[in-house]
């Protein structure tokens, strides 16, 4: 039977910014916000199921890839990619704070060399988690890599070096140009 909506039946699986919908219109009573708890329930139940199905490495990579996709779309749709570096960085920090993702600071940013040290205080994904000695913000690694690539037009490898889960009070990420090695 012909699909009356004329859309690809698998389109539900393709992530694009516009598919996030008109949240304001759809939630006229409840509004656009919800507790961090709900976000974490989704994230860590997904993490559990992916781990049981695919193991640690693959799960981390899936979160990174999802974060990357999100970071790219987020940057293209919300951030001023055509502005100078300091405007871009300050808008990024302001936007993440206003969306309550975290308080971002660029400790080091060398756009020429493609080297970054980025901290996120009160990170949405991990702040307050029980300490396990691990860095857990794989989604953020991809998210930041996607944002940096969208702006700088070159691929980045971002890895978390400190995390609330590893016993720190801040998430710290190191970003370098990904030369495929």
Q: If binding is defined by CB under 5 A, does position 171 make contact with Zn ion?
A: yes
148 sits near Zn ion (criterion: CB under 5 A): no
Selected binder of Zn ion within 92, 96, 104, 126 (CB under 5 A): 126
Given the complex with Zn ion, which of 72 and 163 has the nearer CB atom? 163
Under the criterion CB under 5 A, does residue 158 sit at the interface with Zn ion? no
Q: Candidates 62, 118, 147, 163: give the one binding Zn ion (CB under 5 A).
A: 163
CA distances from 6 to 2, 9, 18, 21, 139 (A): 8, 9, 17, 18, 33
Smallest separation, CB 166 to Zn ion (Å): 8
Total chain residues near Zn ion (CB under 5 A): 4
DSSP 17: G
SS3 156: strand
Stretch that binds Zn ion, among 7-15, 59-67, 100-108, 170-178 (CB under 5 A): 170-178
Sole window of 62-70, 106-114, 137-145, 148-156 interacting with Zn ion (rule: CB under 5 A): 137-145
Residues in CB range of 138: below 8 A, 6 or more apart: 59, 60, 61, 63, 64, 67, 160
The binder of Zn ion chosen from 104, 137, 144, 148 (CB under 5 A): 137
DSSP state of 82: T
* Nearest alpha carbon to residue 123 among 99, 106, 107, 147: 99
CA distance linking residue 6 with residue 129, whole number of Å: 45
Interface residues with Zn ion (CB under 5 A)?
126, 137, 163, 171
């Amino acid at each position: 039977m012909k699909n009356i909506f004329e859309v690809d039946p698998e389109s539900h699986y393709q992530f694009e910014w516009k598919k996030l919908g008109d949240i304001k219109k759809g939630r006229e009573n409840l509004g656009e916000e919800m507790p961090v708890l709900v976000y974490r329930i989704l994230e860590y139940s997904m993490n559990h199921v992916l781990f049981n199905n695919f193991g640690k490495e693959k799960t981390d990579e899936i979160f990174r890839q999802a974060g990357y996709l999100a970071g790219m779309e987020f940057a293209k749709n919300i951030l001023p990619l055509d502005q100078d570096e300091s405007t871009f960085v300050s808008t990024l920090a302001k936007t993440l704070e206003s969306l309550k993702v975290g308080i971002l600071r660029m400790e080091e940013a060398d756009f020429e060399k493609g080297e970054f040290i980025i901290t996120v205080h009160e990170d949405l994904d991990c702040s307050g988690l029980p300490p396990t000695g691990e860095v857990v913000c794989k989604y953020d690694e991809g998210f930041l890599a996607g944002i940096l690539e969208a702006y700088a037009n070159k691929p980045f490898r971002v890895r978390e070096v400190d995390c609330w889960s590893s016993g720190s009070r801040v998430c710290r990420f190191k970003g370098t140009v990904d030369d495929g090695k």
